[in-house]
Amino acid sequence: MKRFTKNISIYLILFVVVLAVAFFYKGLDNTDVSVKEVPFSKFVQLTSQEKFESVEIDGTTITGQLSKNSYVYSYAPSISQIMWLDENYLMKQAEEGKITYSSPKPDKGSFLLTLLPNIIMIGALIFLFYIMMNQGGNGKAFQFAKSRAKMVKSADRKVTFDDVAGLEEEKQELSEIVDFLKDPRKYRELGARIPKGILLVGPPGTGKTYISKAAAGEAGVPFFTISGSDFVEMFVGVGASRVRDLFEQAKKNAPCIVFIDEIDAVGRKRGSGIGGGHDEREQTLNQLLVEMDGFEENSGIIILAATNRPDVLDPALLRPGRFDRQIVIGLPDIKGREEIIKVHAKNKPLADDVTPSILARRTMGCTPADLENILNEAALITARRNGRFIRMEEIEEAIRKVEMGPAKKSKVVSDKEKKLTAYHEAGHAVVARSLPDHMPIHEVTIVPRGRAGGYTMYLPQEDTLFETKQAMYHHIITCMGGRAAENLKLDDISIGASGDIKQATDLAREMVTKYGFSEKLGNVNYGGDGEVFLGNDFTQHKNYSEETAKEIDEEIRRFVGDAYERALSILREKDEILENVAQALLMVETINGDQFEDLYTGKISPEDLKVSVDKAGEEKKAKDAEESAERERLRAEEQARLMEELKKYDGDYLGEDDLSGPENPEETGSGEKEKEGEDESNS
């Protein structure tokens, strides 16, 4: 960048100098010269009076020199007037030697000045071309067919397998690649062929890119990284050229690892779609297939690729010899989440009430990216209250904020809407608690958050790999608990249950069409192919008749209707509990799991809960104020310590000056005056 700026400055200076010289040359002959226009009659009068030393005629323009630096010119009405002036005055005076009579000679300077703009424009074009070729984009402005892969050297990487948590089996799979790159002779002696490519499959945020960087860091080899979208360009053939250039660079730096992120952007199935069979993307894919397993052997080049859509990839890309191995990186389990939390919490001061194992249980379904984001949000919330340590309270708020959005405590909600929301959420909680094998209630609130006017949050006991028919049916019953409570306790129902109805309907549809949970329809899959992507069919076709479609609709309606009736039955039986929970929500707005359990079992009343919550709130405010004051005290002490060190440094610096320099001049002057006064008195 500095070199580029320096070159630009030099060229600009040269450009300004050329312009200055041109303008100087143009005006050189006109320095201190007086030129005046006069009427033609006046010019004739001056000519007859023999005032001119020389006369010059150029067409109908006539110029006369009065003195060394004084000129007049005029425009004749016609050529005949010039001829009349010439015959009567100019020729006679020229023959007598009184004037010099001439016509204009070619002006070389004017010719150069005429060409100067063209010269400047050509020079500017040459200059811009030079800049684009040698400076723009590190000399690659016109090299758009070159690979955009970034090579990361081993010295620039600090990520290893020790930094990757919760992916023990995945690290074991990649360790073979690392070992091969370190010692390939061991595998060649056994006749083993290391996989040429490894495809990392998993949802977004699960650590596919991160574990690839760790593998390159462990192997200590060059690491090329590029996105799948960087290959495809609007110009035909550019993608294929970039693929060739990428593998050429990789061969020069072998052994190495090439990582292609989001490979589905270039590796989708061929043969169908808008572009037909000869579009730019398919040409790029063909070149990638050739480079991965063509006639040439790519010794020492390992291809790692990541995608969250392996179903849309071309089969030729997934065959052995190209991507030999697929590693599924899914959501971490409770043990993996605990390890990930410990990694992200290394530089964060956690309070004593924060336990990684409990937090891992609280964050089921979260990816490593989600966990990092939650801890970061918790740190921001702690800093907002001027706290020193991140408490479980801030982490809970961060989880709710990430999942549903910030709480809208300042939103104006009418008493009617509060009452409706309280009964709605109380219905969800009571129904869920009353069902067998229920999930524990974690929190119930009527505080608006995101698009929800309130919510009921559950805390799963453990991670589950499979859902049972009974569990899914109980989930539908819980979804209908809000609408059932509104129907029982209020004179009207609201649109607040729309999300619950949609969720219940979707679950019922999956039970009937996908999982074979309907006794009437049997163990038959009536579902479609899921999402539609380019490269697959644009439309989905029903694989069942209209009669079967009618039966499916009836079964879905039956599942949801039976669940609603079951929710109504539970709430009629637990009417007193429903009323207590709703009244408690109206009083304190938010109830945690332990408080709900005490209300459900009748250990406390809503009034007792209100007193307990108010007392806990006052204690929390006092504790927050104490922690904030302690933080301010520590900050003031640190500031004072820094100021003392600064004063000490300044004192030492001034002391060195005192040793090397004179004393205060004012004090020196007064001392000299006193000495002079003593001498005078003695004399």
Catalytic residue positions?
425
Which residues are paired to 58 by β-bridges? 61
Asked if 256 contacts 157 with a C-beta cutoff of 8 angstroms, the reply is: no
Its sign, for the CA torsion 479, 484, 486, 487, is positive
Which residues are paired to 441 by β-bridges? 458
Which residues, in sequence order, are CB contacts of 521 under 8 Å at separation 6+?
Answer: 512, 548, 551, 552, 555
- The closest of 254, 201, 185 to 223, measured between CA atoms, is 254
- The closest of 75, 305, 116, 346 to 212, measured between CA atoms, is 305
CB-CB neighbours of 489 under 10 Å: 19
SS3 452: strand
CB-CB neighbours of 255 under 10 Å: 17
Asked if 559 contacts 469 with a C-beta cutoff of 8 angstroms, the reply is: no
- The closest of 307, 150, 299, 148 to 224, measured between CA atoms, is 150
Render 370-399 in DSSP notation, one character per residue.
HHHHHHHHHHHHHHHTT-SSB-HHHHHHHH
- Distance between CA atoms of 461 and 445, rounded to whole angstroms? 21
- Distance between CA atoms of 177 and 218, rounded to whole angstroms? 10
Asked if 52 contacts 99 with a C-beta cutoff of 8 angstroms, the reply is: yes
Asked if 25 contacts 113 with a C-beta cutoff of 8 angstroms, the reply is: yes
Helices 392-404 and 368-384, axial angle in degrees (round to 10): 120
Preceding amide of 255 cis, omega within 30: yes
The 3-state secondary structure of 55-88, one letter per residue? EEEECCEEEEEEECCEEEEEECCCHHHHHHHHHH
- Distance between CA atoms of 214 and 208, rounded to whole angstroms? 10
Asked if 66 contacts 51 with a C-beta cutoff of 8 angstroms, the reply is: yes
- Distance between CA atoms of 161 and 154, rounded to whole angstroms? 14
Asked if 266 contacts 307 with a C-beta cutoff of 8 angstroms, the reply is: no
- Distance between CA atoms of 675 and 345, rounded to whole angstroms? 74
Asked if 239 contacts 283 with a C-beta cutoff of 8 angstroms, the reply is: yes
H/E stretch holding 305: strand 301-307
Output 353-360 pairs: Cβ under 8 A, ≥24 positions apart.
Answer: 353/391, 353/392, 354/390, 354/391, 354/392, 354/395, 358/392, 359/392, 359/395, 360/334, 360/335
- CA distances (Å), 587 to each of 427, 454, 575, in order? 17, 15, 19
Angle at 254 between CA 250 and CA 259, to 5 degrees: 50
- The closest of 365, 366, 363 to 395, measured between CA atoms, is 363
